[in-house]
Structure 1
Amino acid sequence: MRRIRTLLGVTAAGACVLAGLPSVALAAPTAPFKVLTVDVGDQTGGYPVYQSGVYDTGNSNLSLTPDSLDRVSVYAYQQSSYVNLRTEPPTGQKWVEGQTYRAGELADGTSAGLSLASDGRGCGNTSGSITVREVGRNLETGLIEKFAASYDYSCPGGTNSGMISGELRWDSSVDYVVAHGSPNPVSFGFQELATRSAAKTVTFTSVGSKPITFGAASIGGPTPDSFSVTSSNCSGRTLAPGETCTVSVVTHPVKEGVHTGSLLLADDSSTGTRRVQLSVEAFRGVTGMYYPISPARLMDTRTGLGAPKARIGAGKKVDLQVAGRGGVPSSGVSSVVLNVTVTGPTAASFLTLYPAGQSRPTGSSINFPKYWLGSNNVTVKLGSGGKVSVYNHAGSTDVVVDVVGFYAGNNSISSRGWGSQYQWFKPSRLWDSRTDGGALPGGYYTDGPVDFGADFSPRVQALVLNITAVSPKKAGFLTAWDGVGDVPKSSTVNYGAGKVVPNLAVVKVRQEWNSSKGYSLPWFAVYTSQTSNIVIDLVGVMDDGTAPDGLRFTPLAPTRIVDSRISQGIAGAVGPGAVRKVTAPANLVTDATEALAMNVTAVSPTNNTVITVWPADYGMSKPSASNLNPAAGQTVSNAVLGVIGPLDAFNVHNLSGTTHLVADVVGTFWLYPGTASAATLTRAAATERPEVVDSAQRVTRRG
C-alpha cells in the first residue's frame, strides 16, 4: 500500500518530485566511495521513487546515521528533494560481511528491515533482500562508520509491482557495478490492438565504479507477449563508467486494456539484471478490415480513362492513381481489391500489379494467351502517392481496372465506421444453372439470398465467391453486385464464346428482412451480357467485424511460393488426380495466419482440367468447387484465398492430364485477437466455421 511516512524521527517536508535524473560523472569515481544508487527498474506507480539516480558527494548532500542496533539510515538531499534508505539487521543480530538477508519493511528475528522513500512517498508491506559487502565499526563507539551493501526492494500489490535495486557505499573501497536505463518508464501510450508500434529506444549508461558487462535483452513482466526487443547493441558488450549502449523495443498488444511488461537486460551486477518498465493501453481499431464498395471503373486504356489511350506495350507499365478515386479514401488504405480485365493482347503474356515506387516483383497477377479476353481478381498493396503500377510483359494489350473494395492500412479511416473481417468457408456450391433453371439469358441477372442462420446472416457485408461462366453463346461479361439499382458499368468475369472462365469476386450484399425466418438475409445478383450457364461457389464471407474468429488482412508485394517448373513448392508437374501439399514459407506466416491471398496459375495443362485448393491437415475432404478451369495448352490464373491448416499447408488437386502450377502470395489473413473466441491466438478448427443453411431461392430478372 502507499503511505506517507516519517522515518527515524525526521519528518519529510515538501511534496515535490525529484526534478530529474541526477547528473553522473563521466569518469569512474575513486575510492573510498560515498554513494547511494537507486535503479527504479520495473517498479510501477512511482512509489517510493520516481526515477533512477546516482547520489554522491558531487551532486548531493549525503548523511549517514548509525545506531547501536546496527541500523543505518542514509539521506541524499538535492535542493528541496531527498531520498532515504533505511536498513537494519534481523532483531538481536549484527550485520555480517558476505551474508545475504531476506528483508521486509520491519526487521524481525529472521529478516532484515529495508525501507526506501523519497519526498514523503514510501511503501508498506515491502519485500526484498540486502547483501552486506563490508562493515567497519568505530573502535570506541561500536557504531558503523564504513558500510557497503547491495539491495533489491519491491512494493507488491495493487499497481506497485516490480523491483528496485541499488548499491550503498559509505567510506568503502568495495567497487560496485551499476547501469541505469533511460527513459524509465517507457510508455507507448495508446496503441491499436494487434498492430506494431514504432520502436522506442532505451539507453543504458554505466554509472558504477568499474565496468559492467551485459548479456541478452529480453521481455518479462505481467504481459510479456505485448512487447518485443527489436535490436540491442548492449548484449555481449562491456561498458566502462560513463559509456552507453541502446536497446530498442516495440509493442504489439493482443488484448484490450492496459498492459505492462519489463525490458530485462542481463548483466554482471549484484542483481544480475537491468529492468525498465514498459506500458501500453490497447484499443480496438480498424487496421486490416475490409470495406466493400460499389464497383467503379478506374482505368480503361481503350478510352483513356485513368491512363493514356493506348495499349500497354511490351516491358512497359502504367502507374494508376487509385487512392481518392472510385470510393477509395485518399489516405489510410493499405491495399485495394481490383478486377483486372485483359482484352485483345497481341501475344501471350502476363500482367504484374505492384505498389508504385517499388521494384517490380517476379510474381504475376494475371496470365493470358494471345487474343484472350478475360479478367482476374487482384489484391494489391498501394504504393507511392496511392498508386499501383500495371506492368505488361510481352506484346501489347488493353487493360481495364475496376475497384470493388479496400483494406484499412491504419486507424485513420475509423470515421467510416467498422469494416469487415474475413470468415473462411470450406468451398461450397451455391448455384449451378446447368442443374437449376438452365442457362441465364443475355441481358438478365440472377438474384437471391444466402442463409447462414439467424446469428450469422445479418452480419454478412460481402460474399467471397468464385463465379464461373460456362460455355457462353457469345463473348461477353458477368457483373456481380448487391442488386441495388441498375447493373454497374463494370465487369466481374469477361468471357469468350464457348469458354469456361472463372474469377474470384468479393461481392457487396444488401440485407433484406425475411419475415418467415424472423431475420435479415444477405442478397446478391449476377448479370450476364450474353446467354451463359453460371456456376457460383462460396469460399468466404466478409462479416460486420463483430463475429467470432474474424480474420484481418496484411498486404505484401507479390511473393512467389510455388513454381513447379523449377520444383519450388511443388516438385514437377502435377499429374491426373494428383494431390500436392504446399507448405507456406515460415517468413510469410505467424501462429495467427489462417489464409493466404494468392494468384494461382495453371501453366500449359495437357488436358482440359480443374484445379482445386483447400486446407491441409484438417482432415477435410476435397471440395466439389473449383478454383481454376484451364483448357488444354492455356496458361491462365485466378485469385485464390487459400486457407492453410494447422501445419501452415494447403492442398492442390489436378483433375485431368498434367499441368505445372505457379502461386504468388499478395497478402495474409490472420486471426484478430479482439474477436477471437479462443483464449490464445490459435487457428479455429475447420469444424467451427459458419455454414450455409440455404441458397436455393434465386430469381431471374431483366437487367
Structure 2
Amino acid sequence: MNKSISAVLRTRATVLLAAGLVTLVGVPGAAAAEAAPSGLYVNRAAANCSDGGPGSSAVPFCSISKAAKVVEPGQTVWVDAAIGYYKESVTIDRSGEPGKPITFDVIPTAPDPETGAVWKTYGADGLTISGASHVVVRGPAVNEGIRVHGSTDVALDGIENGWGTSHGLVVGGGSEDVRVTRSRLHSARVEGGSRNTVFGRNTFFAQKSLEAAEVVDAPGTVLTNNTVYSGCKEGIGVSGGSTGSKVFNNLIYPADYCSNVESFRSIGVSESAAAGTAADYNLITGGYGQSGNARTPYQWAGTGYRTSAEFTAATGQGAHDIVVPSRDGVGAHLGGSPTIDSGDPTAPGVLPTDINGGPTADDPGVPNTGRDGGWIDRGAEETQDRLSMVWSYVSQNNWAPVGTKVGVRMTTDSTWQSALTYHYDFGDGTAPVVSKENFVEHVYGSPGVYEVKTKVVTAVGREVAGSTRTTKVTAPGVLTAGFTATPVLPTSADAGYRVAPLTVRIDTPGATVAPWRVGSQKVDFGDGTSSSRAGLEKVEHAYKTPGTYNVTVKLTDTQGAESSVTKTVQVDYAPSGYVATEPFRLLDTRTTNTPIKGGSALPVVLWAGQNVPNHGLRQSMSAVVLNVTVTDATEDTHLTVWPSGQSRPTTSNVNIAKGGTSSNTVTVPVGADGKIKAQLNAGKASLIVDVVGSYQPTTGERFSPVAPTRVTDTRTSGGALGGGKTRTVKVAGVNGIPADATAVALNLTGTGATQPAHVIAYPDPAKRPATSNLNVEPGKDKSNQAIVPVGPNGTITLFTNSGSTHLVLDAVGYYGKDGKALFTPVVPKRLADTRTTGKVAPGATTTVSGLPANAVGAVLNVTATDSTGPGFLTAYAFGGKLPGASSLNTLPGVTVPNHVTTPVGPGGKVSIFNSHGGSNHVITDLLGYFTQG
C-alpha cells in the first residue's frame, strides 16, 4: 500500500521547507516567481482559476496538466504550494531548447507565523516525462511514482515519491543526461540503455524486496553523496551493461530485519558492468540478518568482500571507503561522525549544496581527511554549524565619558567558534569592525546614546544577528545627584494592579548628572523607610500619611564618586472622581459573633484581591464611601473610622447610646495596604459596614454641589412608607439635577416612625441590596446622607422593612459627565467645636473656616450635642442664601452626627444654621473637599 501523499507532504514540510533555492551543477537555479515575465501559473484553490484561461497570475490554470500542454521553451510553470495536493497525474512531453528549458517550479507559502517554516512542495498522483528534452522539475511530491522515458537533459530537484511495491523513480527508454538531486525517493531504477544519469545528494528509502538504487544496462550512471537505507537487497546495485558508472561519497545503512543477508550487498557491481566502473569514499555501516549473519559489504564482478581492505586489494576500488560495524555515531550532524569532512570534493556529480540546501561546510573541529585535504561530507546531508543564537552586550564602560574605551563582547551557541567572523557596528557613523575576535574596544568621539548592532557570519556565509545594545557616552564632569518627585496615579493599564494612595515616584535618572554609570542608589523617603538599588532608576514609594517629607538621595558611581541631595516633598491625596457601585454589605460582625471593643482597632479590608468580591470597587481608590451602622452597644460611645497605617484621629463618625442603633455615612481615605480601621471609644458593639461607592484618581465622575433642595416629603405627598413596601422617587432631570447624572447625594430624614426599622435607598427597583441607609425609631427624627446611583428614568427606590415612616429627601449635589469638581480626601480633621466657644443659639448661625480657598464643596461630619430642644441644623455656603432644607435633626439629650455634603463659600467657609428648636453645640470634622480643575 502506498504511503499517503499527505504524509509525504508533511514530511517535506518539516524537513525541506527551510531549504533555499540555489544553483546546482547542471541544474538552472530557480528564480523568484515575481521575476518570471513569461511564466504560467497554476493554483487550483483560486476562485477564478480556469484551464481555458491565460494561465496568468491573475487568472491561473486549475491544473498542472493544462500548463504542461502549452508551456513554451524558456517559460516557467509556477505551481502554488499553498494548495498542497493536485489530484492529477501529470505528463510532460513538450521540450525546451538548449539554454531555454521548460521549467516547473513552486511558489512557496508565506512563513508560518509560529515556526517560520516555508512550504515549498506541491503534490500530484503521478509524473511522467516522455520523449521530452531540456526539462527542469522542482518540488513535487508524487504519490504513485515518477517515470522518465526516452527523454534528454532532464533535471529533477527536491522531489519526493510515495512508498509502494515498485520503484518510485524509473529512468528508462534510452534517456540521456537525467539529473536527480536533493530528493527523497522510495528506491530508484535506471534501465533500458539510459546513459549518464546522475543521482546527487538524495536519500533512498528501499522497501524490503527492492534495491534502493538499481542500475541495469545504463552506462555512465553516477551516484554521489546519497544516503541509502537499503532493504533486503543491494543498497546500490549496478548490473548488465552499466559500464563506466561511478559510486562515490555515499552513506549506506543496510537493513537489520532480513532473514538472509548473505547474497545481498551494500554495493554490488556485476562482472558485465565492472569495466570502467569506480567506487570510493563510501561509508557502509554493519548489517545483520535475523539469523545473526553479517552482511558482506561488497560484491564486485561476482566476488564478495567483507572488508574495505580486501575489496581494495582485489579490485583497486574503495581505497578510502569506511566500513563500520554499527550505525551508532555515524549520522550527519553527530559529533565525531566519520562522514564529516572525509569525502571526495572532486567526485563526479558533486553538488555545492546538500539535500537541505546547506552549502558544503568545513567543520573546524574535524580533520579534513577527504581527497587532497577536502572537506565535503559523505551522504546526502552536510554537517553545518548549529549556530542559532548570538548574545551581545557592552561589557566594558557602557556608560562613560567621551574618550573612554567601550568594550563589546559576543557569545554564541556555535560549536564552530574558530570559523566565525564577528561584525560590530558602533552606531556612530564609523566603519563597522570585522574581526575573528568576539571582544573589541571602541572610542566614541562625542556624547550621545548609541545603538551597538552586532552579527556573526559563519564560515559558509550564513549571518545570525546579535542583540542591539545601547551605550551611553557622556560629557566629562562630576557626579551630581538630583531627582524629581511626582505622584503616581492609576491609569487604564492598572486595571489589575493596585496603585496605593499617597504613592510618589522618585525619578533620579531624569535629574542626575552622571558621567559614569551609577553603581548604587539609596533613597531615604523621610518617613523612616529607605530603598537601595544597584543602579540609577526610578523608585516608587507609598506613604502612609500625607505630609511634608525630607527625601534624600545618595548616589555612588562605578568610579567611587559620591553625591547626595535632599529635597522637601509634599505628599497629598490626589483629586478623584466618584465611582458609583450598587450598595453591598462588606462586614457584619453579628454574623461572626465578633463584636468590636473599645480601645481595639478593627482593620477592614476593602479592595478585591484580599478575599473581598470587587462589586465595582476600584483597587486604586483613594477613598471609600460607606454606610456604617453600630448596634447593640453596651454603653454610650462613639465610633471613629480612619485610614489604615495612620494614627487614630480625634474625630468621630457615629455616636451611639447604650442599647441603641445608629448609622452614618462615612467618607474615609484608604490606607496604603487597602484597608481602613474602625474603633469604639468604649464598650462593645456590633459593627455593620455597607459600601456605597469610592473615589479614584483619573477616573469616575465629577461632583456638582447644589444648595440643599427638597426632592420629596411624604408628609405632604404620598403618605408614609409602609413596612415591606417600596416607593420610586424622581431625582434626576428635576430640581437642577441633569437627567444624565450617574449618582445623587441626598440627605435622608425619617420622621414619625411607628416602630424601629431601617430604610434602604437604591437604584434598581428589581435589585434591592441587603444594606441600609437609615435606622429610624419611634418618637425621633433621624437623618443620614446617602449617595445613591441613579436608576431607571432618573429614579431611585426607597424601602423600609417594618412599621411605617415618613421620609424627607433633600438633594445636596450630583455626580455626572458635566460635573464640576473632583474630590480630595483628607485624614479626618476637626475644623470647629463650639464646646470651646459657646453654644449656637436657636436661629443663630456659626461659621466654619479652614477649608482651602479654592474649594467649591466640602464633605463634613457634623455632630450636634447637648441640645436643649428638637430641631435641625442646615449647612450651606458662607455668604449664600439659607435653603429650606435640613442637614441633620437634633434631639434633646442625644448626640447626633451626620455626613454632610455642602457648597463652600468665599474664603473656604461654611455656614451652619441652627433652627429655632433649641441651642446646640456643633462639632465639625472635615472628611474632604471638592475643587474644580
Scaled by the length of structure 2, the TM-score of the pair is: 0.41
Q: 1:358 aligns with which of 612, 630, 646?
A: 646
> Which amino acid in 2 is paired with 1:648?
G
- Cα offset for 1:322? 2.2
Query: 2: CA distance between counterparts of 1:335 and 1:118?
Result: 43
On the 8 A contact 1:205/1:244 being kept in 2, the answer is no
Query: 2: CA distance between counterparts of 1:576 and 1:465?
Result: 25
Query: 2: CA distance between counterparts of 1:292 and 1:392?
Result: 28
Residue 897 of structure 2 corresponds to residue 637 of structure 1: yes
- Cα offset for 1:385? 3.7
Residue 717 of structure 2 corresponds to residue 436 of structure 1: yes
Could you say which residue in structure 2 is the equivalent of 1:343? 631
Residue 588 of structure 2 corresponds to residue 300 of structure 1: yes
Could you say which residue in structure 2 is the equivalent of 1:539? 812
Q: Which structure ranks higher in relative contact order (CA pairs < 8 Å, sequence separation ≥ 6)? A: 1
On the 8 A contact 2:669/2:826 being kept in 1, the answer is yes
On the 8 A contact 2:581/2:693 being kept in 1, the answer is yes
Q: 2:876 aligns with which of 601, 607, 614?
A: 614
Could you say which residue in structure 1 is the equivalent of 2:4? none
Query: 1: CA distance between counterparts of 2:478 and 2:906?
Result: 44
Q: 1:662 aligns with which of 900, 923, 928?
A: 923
**Deviations 1:221-267 (CA, angstroms, capped at 9, x unpaired):** xxxxxxxx997999xxxxxxx99563659899xxxxxxxxxxxxxxx
- Cα offset for 1:485? 1.0
On the 8 A contact 2:849/2:909 being kept in 1, the answer is yes
Corresponding residue pairs, total: 420
Residue 850 of structure 2 corresponds to residue 584 of structure 1: yes
2:835 match: secondary structure: helix
On the 8 A contact 2:847/2:909 being kept in 1, the answer is yes
2:771 match: secondary structure: coil
> Which amino acid in 2 is paired with 1:320?
V
Could you say which residue in structure 2 is the equivalent of 1:310? 594
Query: 1: CA distance between counterparts of 2:487 and 2:631?
Result: 52
Could you say which residue in structure 1 is the equivalent of 2:495? none
- Cα offset for 1:422? 1.3
Pairs within 5 Å for 1:514-525: 522-525=794-797
1:81 match: secondary structure: coil
Could you say which residue in structure 2 is the equivalent of 1:81? 445
- Cα offset for 1:480? 0.1
- Cα offset for 1:335? 2.0
- Cα offset for 1:624? 1.0
1:473 match: secondary structure: coil
> Which amino acid in 2 is paired with 1:660?
H
- Cα offset for 1:314? 2.8
Could you say which residue in structure 2 is the equivalent of 1:467? 748
Residue 869 of structure 2 corresponds to residue 596 of structure 1: no
> Which amino acid in 2 is paired with 1:577?
G
On the 8 A contact 1:627/1:638 being kept in 2, the answer is yes
Query: 1: CA distance between counterparts of 2:587 and 2:449?
Result: 68
Change (3 A) 1:81 1:426: same
- Cα offset for 1:320? 2.1
Query: 2: CA distance between counterparts of 1:349 and 1:118?
Result: 66
1:565 match: secondary structure: helix
Could you say which residue in structure 1 is the equivalent of 2:603? 319
Q: 2:505 aligns with which of 183, 195, 198?
A: 198
Residue 573 of structure 2 corresponds to residue 246 of structure 1: no
On the 8 A contact 2:828/2:927 being kept in 1, the answer is yes
1:303 match: secondary structure: helix
Could you say which residue in structure 2 is the equivalent of 1:528? 800
Query: 2: CA distance between counterparts of 1:627 and 1:251?
Result: 34
Query: 2: CA distance between counterparts of 1:187 and 1:360?
Result: 28
Could you say which residue in structure 1 is the equivalent of 2:913? 653
Query: 2: CA distance between counterparts of 1:626 and 1:454?
Result: 16
- Cα offset for 1:81? 2.6
Scaled by the length of structure 1, the TM-score of the pair is: 0.53
- Cα offset for 1:665? 1.6
Query: 2: CA distance between counterparts of 1:192 and 1:249?
Result: 24
Could you say which residue in structure 2 is the equivalent of 1:510? 791
On the 8 A contact 2:841/2:918 being kept in 1, the answer is yes
Query: 1: CA distance between counterparts of 2:569 and 2:834?
Result: 39
Change (3 A) 1:444 1:192: closer
Q: 1:625 aligns with which of 882, 885, 893?
A: 885
1:357 match: secondary structure: coil
Query: 1: CA distance between counterparts of 2:582 and 2:768?
Result: 11
Could you say which residue in structure 2 is the equivalent of 1:561? 831
Pairs within 5 Å for 1:94-243: 198-201=505-508, 202-203=511-512
- Cα offset for 1:382? 2.3
Residue 703 of structure 2 corresponds to residue 422 of structure 1: yes
Query: 2: CA distance between counterparts of 1:190 and 1:314?
Result: 36
**Deviations 1:637-670 (CA, angstroms, capped at 9, x unpaired):** 0001233222111001111322111122222222
Residue 779 of structure 2 corresponds to residue 498 of structure 1: yes
Change (3 A) 1:188 1:389: closer
**Deviations 1:98-131 (CA, angstroms, capped at 9, x unpaired):** xxxxxxxxxxxxxxxxxxx999xxxxxxxxxxxx
Identity %: 29
Query: 1: CA distance between counterparts of 2:914 and 2:736?
Result: 37
Change (3 A) 1:250 1:535: same
> Which amino acid in 1 is paired with 2:733?
F
Could you say which residue in structure 1 is the equivalent of 2:498? none
Change (3 A) 1:205 1:233: farther
2:804 match: secondary structure: coil
- Cα offset for 1:446? 1.6
Query: 1: CA distance between counterparts of 2:724 and 2:552?
Result: 68
Query: 1: CA distance between counterparts of 2:443 and 2:549?
Result: 39
Gap runs ≥5 in structure 1: 1-17, 25-77, 84-116, 120-165, 167-177, 207-228, 235-241, 253-285, 412-417, 513-521, 674-703
On the 8 A contact 1:330/1:386 being kept in 2, the answer is no
- Cα offset for 1:612? 0.8
Q: 1:483 aligns with which of 764, 772, 794?
A: 764
> Which amino acid in 1 is paired with 2:906?
P
Structure whose CA Rg is larger: 2
Query: 2: CA distance between counterparts of 1:480 and 1:233?
Result: 50
Change (3 A) 1:230 1:312: closer
- Cα offset for 1:369? 2.1
**Deviations 1:658-685 (CA, angstroms, capped at 9, x unpaired):** 21111222222222x3xxxxxxxxxxxx
Could you say which residue in structure 2 is the equivalent of 1:126? none
Query: 2: CA distance between counterparts of 1:189 and 1:608?
Result: 47
- Cα offset for 1:197? 5.4
Change (3 A) 1:300 1:188: closer
**Deviations 1:318-377 (CA, angstroms, capped at 9, x unpaired):** 222222235154721222111111222221110011223332111111112222222100
On the 8 A contact 2:618/2:694 being kept in 1, the answer is no
Query: 1: CA distance between counterparts of 2:921 and 2:798?
Result: 32
1:302 match: secondary structure: helix
- Cα offset for 1:443? 1.8
Query: 2: CA distance between counterparts of 1:232 and 1:381?
Result: 24
1:485 match: secondary structure: coil
